[in-house]
Structure 1
Amino acid sequence: MTRKRTKQTAIEQLSQYRQKQARLQVLSTYSVGAGITVSRLNEDDQLQELHAKLRGLPSYMYLNKHELKLEQAANAYMTRYPAGIKAQKRAVPVNVMDDEYHELLQELRDKIQKVIAARGYEVRDDIDAVLDRLAEFQDLQADIQRLDFILERLQEYKPYEATLLRWIYIDGLDQNDLVEKLDVSESTIRRRIKKAEREYALLAR
C-alpha cells in the first residue's frame, strides 16, 4: 500500500469516528428482553476475563479428563477461536468423519448453547439478531478505542495537531468554525489540517 493510500485509509477511519460512536449508542439500547440490553450483555460477559486467566496455564491444570478430550477435539478440527460467542459456536465443525470426535464436538456446541441460554439470550426467538448486534457492539468499541489510543499518543508529542483533529473529526467543527475559533485564514487552517492528518497517518499505519 502506498503512503498516500495509507494516509487516506487512516483518515477515512478517523472520519467514521462520530458515526461509529452514534451506532454504538444505538446498539447499547437494543433490547434483548427481560430488561436486558446489548450493552448490559457486553458488560456482564466474563468469558474473555476467564480466557485471559487460563491462557497462561497448561490445560491439564484446570480441565478434567473428559474436558481434555473436548479440548483435543476442538484443537483437531477448529481452525480458529473467535472471541464472540456466536462466532465460537459457528466455528465448531458440524460434520466430521470420526464418530467419537463428532460426538465431542456436538457436546461442545451444546455447552456453548447453554452459555447462551444462561445469559438470557433465549428470551428472544431471534437469537442470531441479538448475537449479531453484540458482535457489532464489541467491534465498534474496539474501533473507537483504537482511534482514541492513536489520538492520545499523538497528543503526547503533537498536542496542537491532536486537538485540531479532535475538533474536526470528533467534535464536528468545520473549517469555518476553526477559522473563527483560531482567528486565522482558511489557507492556514487547510495547511495545519493536512499536517495534522500526516502526523496521524504515520501513527495509524
Structure 2
Amino acid sequence: MDETTVIEQLSNYKRIIARIKVLENYSVGAGITVSRLNQDDQLMELHRRLRGMPSYMYLSKREQELETAAHAYLDKYPSGIRAQLRAVPAGASDADDDKALRDLRAKIEKVIEARTGSKDGYEAVVERLSELQDLQAQRDQIDAALEALESYEPDYAKLLRAHYIDGRPWNESARELNVSRDVFYRWRKKAVSEYEKIAK
C-alpha cells in the first residue's frame, strides 16, 4: 500500500458506506433484502445445529441416498449456495448416482429460487451479496486502521477523517485541529505514512 492507495481508500469511504446502504435495501423477493440474507442465514444456522447429530436422525431414506451420492462425488464442501451448486458434478458413472446428483442439484436450485423469488435472478442476488460483503470488509478495515491510529496518534486519525473522509479542504481541517498550514502538511504526511503501516 502506498500514499496514493491510502488517499484513494480514505476518499472512497463515504461512497463505500452509501453503496452498502443501497445493497442492504435491495429486495430479493418475498420481502427479503440482501442485508437479511447476509445477517440472518437461517439455513446455515440450522445446518450448524444439525451438524452435531447423525444424519439418520433428521434425513429421510431418499435424503440419505442423496447424502451418500454427494459424499461419493464431491471433493470439497463449499459454504455458499452458488458454490455448492457448482460443486455438484453434472453427471456420474452410475445411473442411480446420476439421478441422485440431478436431484441434489434440483434441491439446491429450489433453495435458491425460494430465496430469490426466481431462478434467473439468483446469480444477481449472489453478486450483490458478494459485493456487500466485500464493501463491508473494506469499511471494517478502514475503521479498524483509523481506530488503531487513534489509539496512539489521535490527531493523525482526526486529520485523515476530516481531510480525506469528510473531504474538507486543508484550511478547514487545520482550523479544526488548531494547527498552522505547515504543521497540517507535516502531520498529513506522517498520518498517511502511519495509516499505511497499520493498514498493510
Kindly provide the CA deviation profile for residues 10-66 of structure 1, in whole angstroms up to 9, marking residues without a partner as x: 4433332221111111112222233332223323223555666788x6xxx543454
Aligned to 2:160: 165
| CA-atom RMSD in angstroms | 3.2
Kindly provide the CA deviation profile for residues 87-113 of structure 1, in whole angstroms up to 9, marking residues without a partner as x: 432344435666666545434433322
Aligned to 2:142: 147
Aligned to 1:202: 197
Q: Cα gap change, 1:130/1:186 in structure 2, threshold over 3 Å: closer, same or farther? A: same
CA distance in 2, matches of 1:47, 1:13: 35
TM-score of the pair, normalised by structure 1? 0.73
Kindly provide the CA deviation profile for residues 133-166 of structure 1, in whole angstroms up to 9, marking residues without a partner as x: 1221122122212221222222222222222222
**1:33–1:124 CA contact under 8 A, matched in 2:** no
Pairing partner for 1:33 from 29, 32, 35: 29
**1:92–1:105 CA contact under 8 A, matched in 2:** yes
Aligned to 1:114: 110
Pairing partner for 1:175 from 170, 179, 183: 170
Aligned to 2:181: 186
Q: Cα gap change, 1:190/1:54 in structure 2, threshold over 3 Å: closer, same or farther? A: farther
Segments of 5+ residues of structure 1 without an aligned counterpart are none
SS in 2 for 1:130: helix
**1:24–1:140 CA contact under 8 A, matched in 2:** yes
* Aligned partner letter, 1:69: T
Considering only CA atoms, is the larger Rg found in Structure 1 or Structure 2? 2
TM-score of the pair, normalised by structure 2? 0.74
Aligned to 2:61: none
Aligned to 2:42: 46
Q: Cα gap change, 1:181/1:163 in structure 2, threshold over 3 Å: closer, same or farther? A: closer
Pairing partner for 1:138 from 133, 142, 148: 133
**1:29–1:37 CA contact under 8 A, matched in 2:** yes
* Aligned partner letter, 2:55: L
Aligned to 1:72: 71
Aligned to 1:19: 15
Q: Cα gap change, 1:101/1:162 in structure 2, threshold over 3 Å: closer, same or farther? A: farther
Q: Cα gap change, 1:40/1:194 in structure 2, threshold over 3 Å: closer, same or farther? A: same
Structure 1 stretch displaced more, 44-53 or 144-153: 44-53
Kindly provide the CA deviation profile for residues 103-139 of structure 1, in whole angstroms up to 9, marking residues without a partner as x: 45434433322322333x1258533222221221122
